[in-house]
């Protein structure tokens, strides 16, 4: 009886014990959810959704972003309050555009990656309802906004399968009229793939993540082929595939070319002329092919505009300077002419040129080509002028000793600053013309080495003068032991990167202009007289003579350097200006409170 009584009592005691342990385990989870829900940093933005799309909202409140990321994870793991989950995911978009500083801590990067993967792997993610499509849209936008940061590149590989799976669902036949949400999700699907592929061009980890095999390319080709009745979807597919072609190895790149040619050849909904237009003006230009490719590898497949069609404006500033443009007002043309000619006197005084051209230089005029934006520059620059536009504009000197040669500067309007008008790199590129015409003998590449610092540093200094905060920012961002010596700067190659090519070279030119202008002019004189040996010898002498004083000069500027204010932005941040093509923007895609970006 005692044994039986004791045995009968044990289940009650064990049950209470287990219940207590279970409750103890649940308390942190329930408490975390409750705490996250009531956290004033997240509740504030949930209560003021409309106000978050503004510089006036306190995006940079301490720990706000961390709390948002954590709360997203809790809501997803507990599958509770889908509206709050949507609002917090959408806030990541607001934060990117309006926060003063978007550099995530290592912990924030790890947590963001985890919560986004958690969302993509949840059971509700790959459904066909509006809520799932909305989740996909927010996921895709968060990927290309935040994973473009180099510190996030190694994490992209885990997301590739989700990029492909989202796109694949739009390849399936659908007889229903697409909703606004479905259009936006598809649009962001193609953009996220293309934008990350663009990032991969200069970043091997991203390239490895996206094109380790042909799966992504095949998904894009399959999708594009399925969009015969949908104009903007078809063109976006061609564009995104071109971006992937650029980062593929030679064998896979050739495969993509062949598949795209066959796809467009069999596109019965396109006329023969439209087939040529789409292949050349949507595919080839976005995979950075030029006129030579149209005349050789893809002969008979291109449509190329005439210069009068692409650039109908022909405005003469002076006997030696004229502008070809697509759209510019009379005032914009006049102001551009003034900006170009205003720096000439300083250039000639700085280098003591006496306004005399170099020997054998017949480049007596400069053509300035100004496109409306980068999209036009990319399209017409490559097909019409046979130049690679993987840059922010360029000066092509040609062969100055050849009669009839036309020196040309190619640029475009700084469309991201509208309604203010300016031409990107206008003054910088004009210095290249002056340098080639009045200082450096021969054509570009005539001298064997050690000219990059001169060309780019001189163009930066003459065009910017003492107003170049970005150059001195390098002193604050880099340890002193990593500052390049004058000898290193003088030996700079274009492959050494933007900082050394432009900003450190600017500092070297500016230093010599302020402390040893006489020898700066001697360098110019040696180049003008085609005397590279004297030029190179003098560079060695100047590097040794001035290194100590140059470092002291840098230290003085470092002490006076004032970092840009991170507390308050005066303008919202924008997407990197070269990512998207304006001609792709669908008329039926209209930003609204739930679907918007800063253009």
For the segment 463-496, what is each residue's pLDDT rounded down to a tens digit? Answer: 999 889 889 889 988 999 999 999 999 999 999 9
Number of domains present in the structure of the chain: 3
The vertex-318 CA angle with 316 and 319, nearest 5°, equals: 100
Note whether residue 598 is domain-resident.
Answer: no
396 lies in the same domain as 466: no
Among candidate residues 175, 194, 212, the one where a domain is terminated: 212
442 lies in the same domain as 455: no
349 lies in the same domain as 396: yes
Note whether residue 589 is domain-resident.
Answer: no
148 lies in the same domain as 172: yes
**Residue 291 φ then ψ, to 5°:** -55, -40
Among candidate residues 446, 476, 494, the one where a domain is terminated: 446
The DSSP symbol for 56 reads: T
Find tokens 């009045």 and name the residue.
438
Note whether residue 121 is domain-resident.
Answer: yes
The vertex-410 CA angle with 423 and 382, nearest 5°, equals: 130
Average pLDDT over residues 427-434: 92
What number of other Cβ atoms are within 10 A of residue 331's Cβ? 9
The DSSP symbol for 316 reads: E
Average pLDDT over residues 61-88: 91
Token pair recorded at residue 366? 């400069």
What angle do helix axes 344-351 and 517-528 make, rounded to 10 degrees? 90
Average pLDDT over residues 225-231: 87
Q: Which CATH number characterizes residue 469's domain?
A: 1.10.390.20
CB 238 within 8 A of CB 282: yes
410: helix, strand or coil: strand
| pLDDT at residue 566 greater than cutoff 80 | no
Q: Who contacts 365 (Cβ-Cβ below 8 Å, separation ≥6)?
A: 319, 320, 321, 322, 406, 407
Token pair recorded at residue 4? 């039986």
459 lies in the same domain as 508: yes
Q: Which CATH number characterizes residue 389's domain?
A: 3.40.30.160
Please confirm whether the linkage preceding 419 is cis (ω < 30° from 0).
yes
Q: What is the pLDDT of residues 204-217, one digit of tens each?
A: 999 999 999 999 99
82-100 burial string, b = 16+ CB within 10 Å, else e? Answer: eebbbbbbbbbbbbbbbbe
CB 162 within 8 A of CB 215: no
pTM of the full structure: 0.84
Under the banding of pLDDT at 50, 70 and 90, the label for residue 564 is low
Instruction: Report percent pLDDT > 70 for the chain.
Output: 92
Helix (H) or strand (E) holding 519: helix 517-528
Note whether residue 538 is domain-resident.
Answer: yes
458 lies in the same domain as 393: no
Note whether residue 508 is domain-resident.
Answer: yes
Average pLDDT over residues 526-538: 97
55 lies in the same domain as 178: yes
Q: Facing residues of 323 across strands?
A: 315, 368
59 lies in the same domain as 103: yes
Q: What is the pLDDT of residues 156-173, one digit of tens each?
A: 999 999 999 999 999 987
487 lies in the same domain as 511: yes
Among candidate residues 397, 419, 446, the one where a domain is terminated: 446
Note whether residue 222 is domain-resident.
Answer: no
The overall average pLDDT reported for the chain is 90
Note whether residue 456 is domain-resident.
Answer: yes
- Catalytic-labelled residue, pool 67, 188, 413, 429: 429
Q: Which CATH number characterizes residue 99's domain?
A: 1.25.40
Give the range of the structural domain holding residue 455, as residue numbers without chain letter: 450-566
64 lies in the same domain as 147: yes
85 lies in the same domain as 168: yes
Q: What is the pLDDT of residues 326-377, one digit of tens each?
A: 999 999 999 999 988 888 999 999 999 999 999 998 888 899 999 999 999 9
Note whether residue 514 is domain-resident.
Answer: yes
474 lies in the same domain as 457: yes
Residue 272 among the catalytic residues = no
**Edge-to-edge strand ranges of the sheet holding 313-318:** 313-318, 321-325, 366-371, 407-412, 394-396
């Amino acid at each position: 009886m005692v044994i039986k009584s004791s045995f009968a009592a044990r289940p009650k005691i064990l049950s209470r014990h287990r219940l207590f342990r279970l409750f103890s385990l649940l308390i942190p989870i329930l408490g975390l959810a409750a705490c996250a829900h009531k956290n004033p940093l997240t509740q504030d933005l949930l209560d003021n959704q409309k106000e978050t799309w503004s510089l006036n909202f306190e995006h940079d409140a301490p720990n706000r972003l961390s709390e948002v990321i954590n709360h997203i994870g809790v809501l997803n793991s507990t599958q509770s309050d889908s509206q709050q989950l949507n609002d917090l995911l959408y806030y990541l978009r607001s934060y990117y555009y309006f926060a003063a500083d978007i550099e995530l801590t290592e912990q924030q990067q790890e947590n963001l990656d985890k919560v986004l993967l958690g969302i993509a792997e949840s059971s509700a993610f790959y459904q066909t309802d509006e809520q799932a499509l909305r989740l996909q849209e927010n996921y895709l936008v968060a990927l290309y906004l935040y994973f473009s940061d180099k510190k996030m590149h190694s994490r992209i590989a885990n997301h590739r399968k989700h990029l492909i799976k989202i796109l694949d669902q739009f390849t399936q036949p659908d007889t229903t009229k697409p909703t606004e949400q479905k259009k936006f999700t598809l649009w962001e699907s193609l953009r996220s793939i293309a934008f990350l592929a663009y990032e991969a061009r200069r970043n091997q980890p991203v390239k490895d993540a996206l094109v380790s095999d042909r799966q992504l390319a095949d998904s894009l080709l399959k999708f594009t082929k399925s969009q015969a009745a949908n104009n903007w979807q078809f063109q976006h597919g061609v564009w995104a595939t071109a971006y992937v072609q650029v980062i593929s190895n030679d064998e896979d790149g050739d495969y993509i070319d062949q598949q795209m040619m066959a796809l467009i050849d069999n596109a019965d909904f396109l006329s023969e002329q439209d087939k040529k237009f789409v292949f050349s003006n949507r595919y080839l230009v976005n995979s950075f092919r030029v006129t030579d490719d149209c005349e050789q590898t893809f002969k008979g497949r291109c449509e190329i505009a005439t210069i009068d069609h692409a650039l109908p404006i022909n405005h003469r500033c002076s006997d030696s300077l004229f502008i070809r443009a697509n759209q510019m007002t009379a005032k914009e043309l006049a102001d551009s002419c003034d900006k170009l000619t205003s720096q000439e006197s300083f250039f000639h005084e700085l280098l003591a040129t006496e306004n005399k051209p170099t020997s054998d230089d017949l480049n007596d005029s400069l053509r300035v080509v100004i496109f409306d934006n980068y999209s036009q520059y990319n399209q017409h620059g490559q097909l019409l002028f046979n130049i690679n536009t993987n840059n922010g504009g360029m000066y092509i000197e040609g062969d100055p000793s050849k009669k009839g040669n036309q020196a040309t500067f190619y640029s475009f309007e700084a469309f991201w600053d509208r309604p203010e008008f300016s031409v990107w790199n206008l003054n910088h590129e004009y210095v290249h013309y002056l340098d080639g015409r009045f200082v450096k003998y021969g054509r570009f590449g005539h001298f064997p080495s050690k000219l990059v610092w001169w060309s780019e540093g001189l163009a930066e200094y003459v065009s910017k003068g003492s107003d170049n905060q970005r150059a001195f920012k390098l002193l604050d961002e880099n340890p002193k032991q990593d500052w390049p010596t004058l000898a290193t700067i003088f030996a700079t190659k274009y492959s050494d990167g933007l900082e050394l090519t432009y900003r450190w070279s600017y500092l070297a030119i500016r230093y010599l202009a302020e402390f040893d202008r006489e020898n700066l002019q001697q360098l110019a004189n040696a180049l003008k007289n085609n005397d590279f040996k004297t030029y190179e010898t003098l560079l060695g002498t100047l590097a040794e003579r001035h290194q100590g004083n140059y470092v002291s000069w840098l230290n003085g500027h470092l002490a006076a350097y004032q970092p840009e204010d991170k507390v308050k932005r005066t303008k919202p941040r924008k997407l990197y200006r070269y990512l998207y093509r304006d001609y792709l923007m669908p008329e039926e895609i209209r930003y609204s409170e739930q679907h918007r970006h800063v253009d």
